[in-house]
Amino acid sequence: MSLFFLRRLIQLIPTLAFILVVVFVLVRLLPGDPTSAILGDRALDADVARINHDLGLDRSIPVQFVLFLKAVATGNLGNSITLKLPVTTLIAQRLPVTVMLTVMAALMSLVMAVPLAFVAALRRDELADSAIRGTFQVGLSMPVFYLGLILLTVFGARLGWFPVGGYGDSFGEHIYHLFLPAFTLALSLAAILMRNLRAAIIGVVGAEYVVFARSKGIMPGVILMRHVLRSALISTVSLFGLSVGTLLGGAVITETVFAIPGAGRLMIDSIYGRDYPVVQGMTMALAVVVSLTFFLTDVVEAWLDPRVAR
């Protein structure tokens, strides 16, 4: 098991290196340039040359890439072109908001998906099963931004149960402000996890070792938790880990709808402003979060099924 964890950690190194190359190339393929975003279309040639020199954009692409690698290695990701703040400071301010939103959405999706998957699987093709699948299908068919607008209008603007924007100051206010956007993200993910876990439970319930455990007189609750759930969760955990990137992508849209000062809104503003340092730094930070999530997913899979580590 220790060798398995070590291999997974070593595999993160080439993954992160590849991400560095992709981020550097994609940012420079964006239409427009930072100089036009800063000075406007009527800028003088002398001012354009000065800004390009200050930003290092007048150098060759290989030289820019080497300087980019040095900056990453030293932890100095530069300053934001538009906000005039260090990129590391912006990441420290905005990334925790997005991570907290994503974690809340993930926990909500699990709380909804796991018990409802059990009910749907054990009541297969009955009214409860059809109602659960039909309800989640409606939520899954709606785009995240549309569902967020509906929830914001009903529960925020009309009923006044939740704030229509912001993040709050204390931890309790953070939870309160992020509950509705997290619930918006959780609905679509819960629908996917529920259907996957339901199918896995149906397949495991009829397995020979479960039938044998029943014949030994083991309590049904013990069979469900120790034998059925542990085996059925393996595929769901893999799907959950793969969905984290999608969840972060949905957080970008959700933060815009609910006016949350997270990494998503900062990324959108930076892309429009051609703020290369912020786009590069924030993309790498999000990539690290996703890579660590994949690693934790592998750890949980190995714990559920030790054969994975072999």
Retrieve residue 281's tokens.
């730094």
Residue percentage of the chain with pLDDT more than 90:
0
Is 206 a residue whose pLDDT tops 70? Answer: no
pLDDT of the residue at 36: 61
Q: Where are the beta strands (DSSP E) in 186-242?
A: none
Per-residue burial over 96-109, b = 16 or more CB atoms within 10 Å of its CB, e = otherwise: ebbbbbbebbbebb
Please say whether the beta carbons of 248 and 99 come within 8 A.
Answer: no
pLDDT of 278 strictly over 80: yes
pLDDT for 66 beyond 60: yes
Residue 282: which of 251, 303, 259, 310 has the closest Cα?
A: 251
* Cα(268)–Cα(263) distance, integer angstroms: 9
Confidence of residue 185 (pLDDT cuts 50, 70, 90): confident
Q: What is the pLDDT of residues 243-273, one digit of tens each?
A: 777 777 777 778 777 878 888 778 887 877 7
Tell me the β-bridge partners of 86: 79
- Whole-number Cα distances in Å, 106 to 111, 119, 191, 207: 9, 20, 12, 29
User: What are residue 79's DSSP bridge partners?
Assistant: 86
40 vs 141 pLDDT, higher one: 141
- Higher per-residue pLDDT: 219 or 109: 109
- Residue 229 carries which side chain, given as an amino acid letter? L
pLDDT value at position 307? Answer: 63
Q: What is the pLDDT of residues 73-114, one digit of tens each?
A: 777 777 787 777 888 888 888 888 888 888 888 888 888 888
Radius of gyration of the chain from its Cα atoms, rounded to whole angstroms: 24
268 Cβ neighbours under 8 A, 6+ residues apart: 252, 256
Q: How many CB atoms lie within 10 A of CB 182?
A: 24
pLDDT for 299 equals 77
- Report whether pLDDT(136) > 80: no
Instruction: Give the mean model confidence (pLDDT) for residues 174-193.
Output: 84
Query: 258: which 2 tokens?
Result: 């609910």
Rounded-to-5 percentages of helix, strand, coil across the chain: 80, 0, 20
Which amino acid, residue 147?
L
Sequence-distant (6+) residues with CB within 8 A of 58 are 49, 52
Q: What is the pLDDT of residue 39?
A: 59
Query: Using an 8 Å Cβ cutoff, are 28 and 307 in contact?
Result: no
**Tokens 């994975």, residue located:** 308
State residue 144's pLDDT score.
73
Residue 30 confidence class, pLDDT cut points 50, 70, 90: low
User: 87-309, what's its fold?
Assistant: MetI-like fold (1.10.3720)
This model's pTM is above 0.85: no
Q: Both tokens of residue 259? A: 């006016």
Least confidently predicted of 139-148, 194-203, 286-295, 299-308: 299-308
DSSP 86: B
